[in-house]
Structure 1
Amino acid sequence: MNEQLIVKNFGPIKDATVDFKKVTVFIGPTGGGKSTLAKLAAIFRNDKFYSITPSTREELFKSSSINTFFSKDSKFTWTDNDGSFFTDINLLTKNINNKLVNTKPTAKIDILFKNTEKRLKFQRISEKYANSIKSNKAAGNLLKQLNDLIDNIPDPLKPTYIPAERIFSSTIEYSLAGILINNIGLPKLFLNYLNELNIARKEVKKLKIDFLNITYIQRKEKDYISLQDTKTSLRLFEAASGIQSVTPLMILIEHLTQQKEQAQSFIIEEPELNLYPTAQQGLLNWLVEKCTTGENDLTITTHSPYILSHLNLLLYAYQVAEKHPDRADDVAKLVPRESWIDPDEFAAYYVNGPEGKNGVRSLVDNETKLISQNGLDTVSGIQADIFDQLLDINSGF
């Protein structure tokens, strides 16, 4: 993958450049901008974004709850795997009461064609559009030219954004119809997730979750958890919070990964929610196995240093097996082969917002291709430093 996102002056992000890989991880303090970067990736991967309808684009930002992050200096550059196009939201217009009006927000979105001829053609049309609009008919003709121009751009990955609010899905799953009918003000991303989960539940009737020693079973449209050790069952909404958080997530991903005809982009907020560290590791193994097959990819935001440490294990397992192919089976006995991560297809970033000392920076060491020790210390070493200082005080230093 060669996707790149550059963001300037958007919400908590002052200036960030992020290269997305097969597996991409964002970690950092609350409010630093991790989810903002993840949501922007979901927006730019959504084929609706490539519609020349300003209201459609604006709705994508609004449904992600980041439409208020725009400023007059906001700017984005998104480069995908196959090339893309340049436009400016401020140049795109919509018809309101038969009048052409500028569409807000007014940020620029720069997307560069890899094909020089196509880029120049687009620039010529854009200039004509900016300088020569005389009527709605002229604007409509120019919009048609723009649409024709981008018809040959390959469909982007289908993004699926799984928000942290998923913990509530087990308690309201039977109320989804009422929630939608009564227009209850839940976040749009969460409602989208609930809709997709509702579809998935019709297809996935049983799913073993070995790292929690449970099995999900659906009987008569009701969700049950079977405890493998005791052979007892309980309703999903009666289960532990970690089980309620992780089971719907896995049902949805299991369903989507069965759809081989469409490449999927899975974007997950805080997969570690309510899980013990060993369970976090088991879930991460499963996510890497399921979400990175074929052309699929995985992006996660996290607060967990255990996630980073385990990612290093998955990266190192790949490296050891590559260096010693004759010992690959021994490595697989320790770390499941399906969850190994190619370091060339991995990226990890520490996100600390505009007020942070380092802003957005890579945590990957260029030489070892692992998350650097300094990177691990950044997210997990503060308490250790304080403990060392207490030891010094106790020793009289």
Structure 2
Amino acid sequence: MVRNFGPIEQAEVELKRVNIIIGPQSAGKSCLLKVACYCTWVEKRIQIAQSADSLKQISQSPDSPKGCLHFCYLIEQFHRLKGYMRGDSYISYESDCMAFSYDQATGSFGFKWKDARWEYLRPRVSYIPAERNIVAVIPNWFEVKLPDDNIRSFLQDWDAARKGLQKVDVLNLGVAYRYDGKSGKDRVVDGAAELDFSNTSSGLQAVIPILVHLNYLTCIECGQSSPASVQKLDEDRLFLGRIPKDFDEDRRSRVAENFTQPQRCEVFLEEPELSLFPPTQVQLVDWLLEHVAKEENSLSVATHSPYVLTAFLEREGVDIALFTVDREGGQGAVVKTASKEDIQAIYDDGVDAFFNIAYFRKG
């Protein structure tokens, strides 16, 4: 649940395997996507530490407002949401494993464990921003000093992905991406020709970062061990000491594996349609459903594209939720969950969800 945060006045959503957020520009689509991503990450951090205490503490960062809790500071800083928190802002999150909430009016962070606490599966949480083409338009991006936010985080993920994959075909466009380790250059192969990534079309510059990153994320990282940092080794060691002593050996082993190694991916993607021809948008949706929205993974998307929306809704057997963000009369945005009947109307009766946002106000 989100209340009075940025443009959002009221949002109460239940996330499924695939989540689509639509609405006018500046209505709060990306804001909702960022809050969902952040809460998923917070759950992960609490599970790893087996404690929420750090989030309840006053932030000691020099650029943090006086008295700001660490929970509040992190969402504003990482997702570039400074100024979104109001005096009556409220954010709450609940899963099978835990529930937590932040109330700006009282400056308090509430938390409780739930019965499935030890059934958690560690995710790799990834936010793919609309600005992802920075990896192509600024070839020396690794030399640019950036704040510690979601763009910098994506750049770090991109760097690991491009160095970890040999070659990635770009849908059915007849081109492929490869990283030249000797020169440190990103290359796009088109038949016998090779181009610098920075010299390719805007569509390729927007879609290749998605494909390369998610290929690496879903095929390499999740379910497989990867080189661990000193920080992660310390976290794992501390976590193993927190597993209840009364668990039998099999359960202890299972919990240790599920909590210390990624078992699934939770992907939050802004505007997958950027600079893509409509049929290519549909191909990208098919690729996302095949490679990302499978097994225990989840995919959440904020989009302006009717082609992306229709492509998702047309695919059978997909556990999907559709959320509409509407600022009626210039007021704060209200998020509605489309019912099965609403979705059927979009699919069968030609109700254009983008030109008829008001259609969902009755819900």
TM range (shorter): 0.7 to 0.9
- Are 1:79 and 2:54 matched, yes or no? no
Letter in 2 for 1:308: L
Structure 2: how far apart are the matches of 1:193 and 1:239? 20
In structure 2, relative to structure 1, the CA distance for the partners of 1:243 and 1:376 (3 Å cut) is farther
Alignment of 1:356-371 (within 5 A): 359-366=334-341, 371=346
Residues 2-44 of structure 1: CA deviation (Å, up to 9, x unaligned): xxxx111111111111111100000111111111111111111
Alignment of 1:378-393 (within 5 A): 378-380=353-355
Of 32, 37, 45 in structure 2, the residue corresponding to residue 42 of structure 1 is 37
Of 142, 155, 176 in structure 2, the residue corresponding to residue 215 of structure 1 is 176
Letter in 2 for 1:78: Y
Aligned to 2:187: 224
Structure 2: how far apart are the matches of 1:285 and 1:171? 27
The question of whether the paired residues in 2 share the 8 Å contact of 1:223 and 1:235 is answered with yes
In structure 2, relative to structure 1, the CA distance for the partners of 1:59 and 1:368 (3 Å cut) is closer
Of 159, 168, 174 in structure 1, the residue corresponding to residue 140 of structure 2 is 174
Structure 2: how far apart are the matches of 1:365 and 1:214? 39
Structure 1: how far apart are the matches of 2:169 and 2:76? 36
The question of whether the paired residues in 1 share the 8 Å contact of 2:8 and 2:332 is answered with no
The question of whether the paired residues in 2 share the 8 Å contact of 1:352 and 1:359 is answered with yes
The question of whether the paired residues in 1 share the 8 Å contact of 2:7 and 2:333 is answered with no
Alignment of 1:266-305 (within 5 A): 266-305=267-306
Structure 1 unaligned segments of length 5 or more: list them: 1-5, 91-104, 119-149, 319-340, 383-397
Shift of 1:357: 9.3
The question of whether the paired residues in 2 share the 8 Å contact of 1:26 and 1:350 is answered with yes
Structure 2 unaligned segments of length 5 or more: list them: 60-69, 224-261, 358-363
Number of aligned positions between the proteins: 294
Letter in 2 for 1:248: P
Aligned to 1:333: none
The question of whether the paired residues in 1 share the 8 Å contact of 2:265 and 2:296 is answered with yes
Residues 219-242 of structure 1: CA deviation (Å, up to 9, x unaligned): 2332111124xx322111111000
Aligned to 1:265: 266
SS in structure 2 of the partner of residue 266 of structure 1: strand
Structure 2: how far apart are the matches of 1:367 and 1:350? 11
In structure 2, relative to structure 1, the CA distance for the partners of 1:381 and 1:71 (3 Å cut) is closer
Residues 351-382 of structure 1: CA deviation (Å, up to 9, x unaligned): 12474698211234348757456884230469
Structure 1: how far apart are the matches of 2:139 and 2:286? 27
Residues 186-226 of structure 1: CA deviation (Å, up to 9, x unaligned): x7111110011011111012011233221112223321111
Greater Rg over alpha carbons, structure: 1
In structure 2, relative to structure 1, the CA distance for the partners of 1:184 and 1:266 (3 Å cut) is closer
In structure 2, relative to structure 1, the CA distance for the partners of 1:381 and 1:72 (3 Å cut) is closer
Shift of 1:287: 0.9
Residues 302-351 of structure 1: CA deviation (Å, up to 9, x unaligned): 0111111212221xxx2xxxxxxxxxxxxxxxxxxxxxx42xx1001111
- Are 1:348 and 2:322 matched, yes or no? yes
Structure 2: how far apart are the matches of 1:285 and 1:112? 38
Query: By percentage of residues, which structure has more helix?
Result: 1
Letter in 2 for 1:285: D
In structure 2, relative to structure 1, the CA distance for the partners of 1:376 and 1:112 (3 Å cut) is farther
Shift of 1:255: 0.6
Letter in 1 for 2:5: F
Shift of 1:77: 2.0
The question of whether the paired residues in 2 share the 8 Å contact of 1:308 and 1:376 is answered with no
Aligned to 1:28: 23
In structure 2, relative to structure 1, the CA distance for the partners of 1:63 and 1:212 (3 Å cut) is same
Structure 2: how far apart are the matches of 1:175 and 1:163? 15
Alignment of 1:180-191 (within 5 A): 183-184=145-146, 188-191=149-152
Sequence identity, in percent? 27
SS in structure 2 of the partner of residue 294 of structure 1: coil
SS in structure 1 of the partner of residue 159 of structure 2: helix
Residue range with higher mean Cα deviation, 153-162 or 272-281: 153-162
TM-score (norm 2): 0.72
Letter in 2 for 1:84: M
- Are 1:61 and 2:58 matched, yes or no? no
Residue range with higher mean Cα deviation, 62-71 or 233-242: 62-71
